[in-house]
Each structure stands twice: as structure tokens, then as C-alpha cells.
Amino acid sequence: MTKVTEQDVIMFLEEKVASIQVELSKAQSALDAFRGTALSAPGSAKMAVNSSLKNQAAAIELAALKQKRGRKPRASVKAAVEAPTEYNSKLKFDKKIAYALAKAGPSFKEDVFKVLNDLEPEVDPKKLDKDVTVKLSSMFKKGLVKAEREGRKYRYSL
């Protein structure tokens, strides 16, 4: 588990204050609109412009703070795994999966499992199913295979 530093707490609280200020200004402008005081009072148009500029500045500040933290965007597919032309039981598991994907085309993990299970029937099916699931997910996260989400599943391809 990572340690939370004092700087992390400060950044979190600054983000929280900025987001609450944005929400407060939105609620205040809605309240003013319902009361009819938004543009009816003299000089209120100038105040409305100033408050909207403050809202925009707070929103920009909040966006800048959020960009500093959080996950980095996922890199695109780096280098696809080359599928071997012939299957061999001594291949590494990612090469076996690449062979199955090349043979079956874009397919779900169940299809990859069926191809590998047909090629190596002596392997425990439960273990093979779990291994295929974990390896496909890992390869997708590393950018070695492509995947398109269809419902709750991924359709993997090379």
C-alpha cells in the first residue's frame, strides 16, 4: 500500500475546495435566477459577468489540478505479438495464445481456450481457462493484442 504524503493531502483538499466553490457558484446563480435578482438589479449584469469569470477560472484551476493526478492515458498498441506458423507444445504461453488468435481470428477468450484445449487435451481445462483469461488480459494491458468490448466481454485480435 502506498504512503499518503502531506503533499497528497494538500492537493486533495485544494481540489475539494475548488470543486465545492464551483458547485457553490452554480447553486448561487440558480438561486439568483429563481429570485429574479440575477439581471434585474442595476450593476448585476456586471456582477454576473464577474461571477461567471470566477466560475470559469475555478473550473480551469480544478481541471489543472486533476490533470496532475490520476492515471496516465493508456498507450496505443505497441508491437503486436507475432503468431508462429506451426504449433508446438514447448512454445511460451503468449505465443500459444497468438497462434490460437491467428487460427481463430478475432475471438473471445472461450474461443481461444477451445483452440488451445483441442491442441493440448492433456492439460487441465480449469487451469488452462484461468491461464488464458489472465494472459489475454495481461497482453491487452501491455498493448500486445487488441480488444474490443462487446457487452461484458472482450473480443481479442492480433
Question: What does the pLDDT read at residue 52?
Answer: 60
pLDDT tens-digit map of 103-138: 888 889 899 899 999 988 898 989 999 999 999 888
pTM of the model: 0.49
The matching CATH number, chosen from 2.60.40, 1.10.10, 1.20.1070, 3.30.2310, for 93-157 is 1.10.10
DSSP the chain: -PPPPHHHHHHHHHHHHHHHHHHHHHHHHHHHHHHT-SSSSTTHHHHHHHHHHHHHHHHHHHHHHHHHSSPPPPP----PPPPPSS--TTS-HHHHHHHHHHHH-SB-HHHHHHHHHHH-TTS-HHHHHHHHHHHHHHHHHHTSSEEEEETTEEEEE-
Residue 138: Cβ within 10 Å count: 12
Do residues 97 and 135 lie in contact, with contact meaning Cβ atoms separated by under 8 Å? yes
Question: What does the pLDDT read at residue 140?
Answer: 87
For 78: left if phi > 0, alpha if psi spans -120 to 50, otherwise beta; the answer is alpha
pLDDT tens-digit map of 88-110: 888 888 888 888 888 888 889 89
Residue scoring higher pLDDT (34 or 65): 34
Reported confidence tier of residue 77, pLDDT bands at 50, 70, 90: very low
Question: What does the pLDDT read at residue 75?
Answer: 55
